Chains A and B, each alone.
Chain A
């Protein structure tokens, strides 16, 4: 069974640009969560999608958005990039039933110059 796939693996952007990251969950999983991880910090929750609907949202500005498609694949978008957006963005998939383990992808390392 394939794991969680995130693309691209690395990304370099400049301030003011926008970026789209992609996540394909484990087959059969309907929930996709996104996290931001910066050096020395834990994982900061961005949002969770289940059956194409945003189910939970973290405390990030509106520049961060996401969506989920009917095949459960998810994308997140960051507009008007800032230097502080440089981070590892992790996607996690789950069945979506709650109180279940999440399976993480390897992440997309975003560098904003």
Chain B
């Protein structure tokens, strides 16, 4: 099966700091990637996506970077807030196949 891994299972940041969550993917054929946020008791919520023909995409306070050379994905959250505390998953998609999710990184924001 596919492997989508995260470098750090937990991450703690001070409120107001920037957060960076990393993700490694294994299949070079993956051409679409999504970051999801999951809060306790809820289903994953879409944050931002990026296609393989892009290296960077920005949203509101979030930026996703894609490095296809080393098969690495990262999510940057600017000015992290307590409401950002959650588990973050990256997911990769190969055309015609399902999404493969990593095990997640737990982000804790310290007030």
Contacts and interface: CB of A to CB of B under 8 A. Distances in A.
Nearest to B93: A99
Contact of B99 (A41, A45, A103, A107): A45
Nearest to A41: B103
Contacts of B98: 33, 45, 48, 56, 58
Chain B contact residues (Cβ within 8 angstroms of A): what range? 20 to 34
Give the size range of A's interface with the partner: 20 to 34
A15 B95 CA distance: 38
Contact of A42 (B41, B45, B102): B102
B101 interface: yes
Given A90-B43, A98-B95, A106-B41, A42 B101 contact: yes
20 contacts: A4-B43, A33-B98, A42-B89, A42-B103, A43-B89, A43-B91, A45-B98, A45-B101, A56-B97, A56-B98, A58-B98, A98-B96, A99-B31, A99-B32, A99-B95, A102-B99, A104-B36, A104-B44, A106-B42, A107-B43
Contacts, number: 52
A90 B42 CA distance: 10
Nearest to B4: A42
A90 B41 CA distance: 12
B89 to A, nearest CB: 7
B34 interface: yes
